[in-house]
Amino acid sequence: LAKTTQPISMDSYEGQEVNITCSHNNIATNDYITWYQQFPSQGPRFIIQGYKTKVTNEVASLFIPADRKSSTLSLPRVSLSDTAVYYCLVGDGNDMRFGAGTRLTVKP
């Protein structure tokens, strides 16, 4: 089972770009990389998913290097409402494990 490692916390200011990196050295060939966002007392919400290279949607970009041993979630121009915990998940069959996540605090 691929284990993920993320920074425990990060601070940023409104309008800045935030990059959160996740390492997953034991990622398997068939694994996808998925990021979720969670606000207090709410269920996690899907942000983005990728397999390799770069994926972009309306809220974020996901960069995955060729060896796939890490991934970087990029949030452009964050606002106060982006303050949340961000989880990186790497699939291994059906047993998905959330790590402790990265607590992002966006300051005015």
Contacts to other proteins by CB under 8 A: 30-32, 34, 36, 41-46, 49, 87, 89-101
Beta carbon nearer to other proteins, 42 or 81: 42
Left (φ > 0), alpha (ψ -120 to 50) or beta: where does 29 sit? alpha
Provide the minimum distance between the beta carbon of 16 and other proteins in the complex, in angstroms, as a whole number: 26
Beta carbon nearer to other proteins, 33 or 106: 33
Q: Tell me the two tokens of residue 26.
A: 């034991």
Provide the minimum distance between the beta carbon of 101 and other proteins in the complex, in angstroms, as a whole number: 6
Give the C-alpha separation, 80 to 60, whole Å: 16
